[in-house]
Amino acid sequence: PETQKIEDLSDDRYVNLYGRNYYNENYEGTTFINSASGFELKFRGTAVYADICVIGSRDSMWSVFVDGETDSNARVLTFKETRGLFVKNTLVEGLSDGEHVVKVLKRTPSNFDRIIVSDLSCDGAFIAAPEKPALNIEFYGDSITCGEGVLREYQPSDSRVYTAETQNALQSYAAYCASELGASFGVFGRGGITLKFRNPATEPFSVINNYKSMAVDLSVENGECPEYDFSDIPDAVVIYLGTNDYLRSLSSNAGYSLAGMEAAYIEFVDKLVGAYYGFDIPIVLCSGMMVHNSGLAGAVSGAAQTLKPKYPYIAALDFDAGVTESVGGHPVVEDSVKAGAQLAQTLKTLFVNSGRILD
């Protein structure tokens, strides 16, 4: 089938969706809020357009990939807040007249911006969506996984510039790992989020108390979004949380301890993976790129050891400290590349051990 306009982005004949996304009935469109979320389509023509409403306290930044391009900085779109209105935006134009695959993924995090897409159009015809990658990895993380500050200047000293422009989830360790495995990936979480030990006076949510939402700061209870149904079963789960639990413990009494962190990891794996994805899926619990000497590596490996009899393909991975870790800086691209390769290697081993044949 062919069509000139796509009014329902969940129509998988024409659109591949990535990440946790949902239909917003008030705005009559699909909401994209999480880092690295987005959509992919195939069309015949030279240009693709989208009617987009942007909600946020800062710009929403996106990367466009045409026909298998891999450089997330080659085509960057910046969408400004639209005050509740839909604006027609050009996603790509000036392509050679013919068949093209276009993938659009979010660079920026869920706590600053989201877009709602009511429809897609083109100057030719949309055709059947391309095949999705065979592997999909689900990441639960914080600013490290969302690539916060990954593009900032850090030599000779750390600029500490954390803006929409220096953020790119598509250059986080998660993205480099997925790329090496030829996988798609989704991210749940955002900068500053804890696994469990939050400051209840100022933070309603942690990952462990809100992982069933579409995004970690949206309340299902208050009708801000539907509950996530976990029907899209990933091929592996990676959890890299705890940095903010530790940092919170330095300034407020959130009940944090390393034993508590270990227990929280165990609880979360059971609630998420055990409950929805079964026991034979590869799982990696990570630590180390920030607060390297916090003791979190011990809590993470303790949790993995405790869980291993039930989840045979679980591993703990303590990354090397990032190049600005000693001054409290977030990972930069060189850290992401190195950690992504380490994680890909760990996952390859787990896939092989679990009997999964990788192409």
- Are 105 and 65 in contact by the 8 Å Cβ rule? The answer is yes
287 pLDDT more than 90:
yes
Q: How far apart are the first and last CA of the chain?
A: 30
Q: What are phi and psi of 266, to 5 degrees?
A: -60, -45
Q: Measure the CA angle with vertex 325, ends 207 and 336; round to 5°.
A: 70
b/e burial code for range 286-319 (CB count within 10 A of at least 16 → b): bbbbbbbebebbebbbbbbebbeeebebbbbbbb
295 Cβ partners below 8 Å, 6+ apart?
258
Tokens standing for residue 151: 């593009």
pTM of the entire structure? Answer: 0.98
* pLDDT confidence of residue 18: 98
Structure tokens at 281: 């899926």
Residue type for 338, please? K
What's the pLDDT tens digit per position in 273-284?
A: 999 999 999 999
Distance CA 29, CA 9 (A): 8
Q: Which of 247, 250, 138, 253 is nearest to 195 (CA)?
A: 247
How high is the pLDDT of residue 245?
Answer: 97
In this predicted structure, what is the pLDDT of residue 357? Answer: 84
> pLDDT tens digits for 75-100?
999 999 999 999 999 999 999 999 99
Query: Residue 358 pLDDT more than 90?
Result: no
Structure tokens at 117: 């897409």
Find, among 183, 140, 173, the residue nearest to 356 by Cα.
Answer: 183
**94 dihedral zone (left: phi>0; alpha: psi -120 to 50; beta):** left
pLDDT at 359: 75
pLDDT digits (tens, 9 = 90+) for 320-336: 999 999 999 999 999 99
pLDDT tops 90 at residue 337? yes
The reported pLDDT for the residue numbered 269 is: 98
Structure tokens at 269: 């794996």
| CA separation for the pair 66, 207 (Å, rounded) | 34
* Rounded Cα gap, residues 83 and 80, in angstroms: 9
d(CA 339, CA 290): 12
Output the six-digit token pair for 110.
Answer: 């869920």
- Torsion angles phi and psi, residue 227, rounded to 5: -75, 145
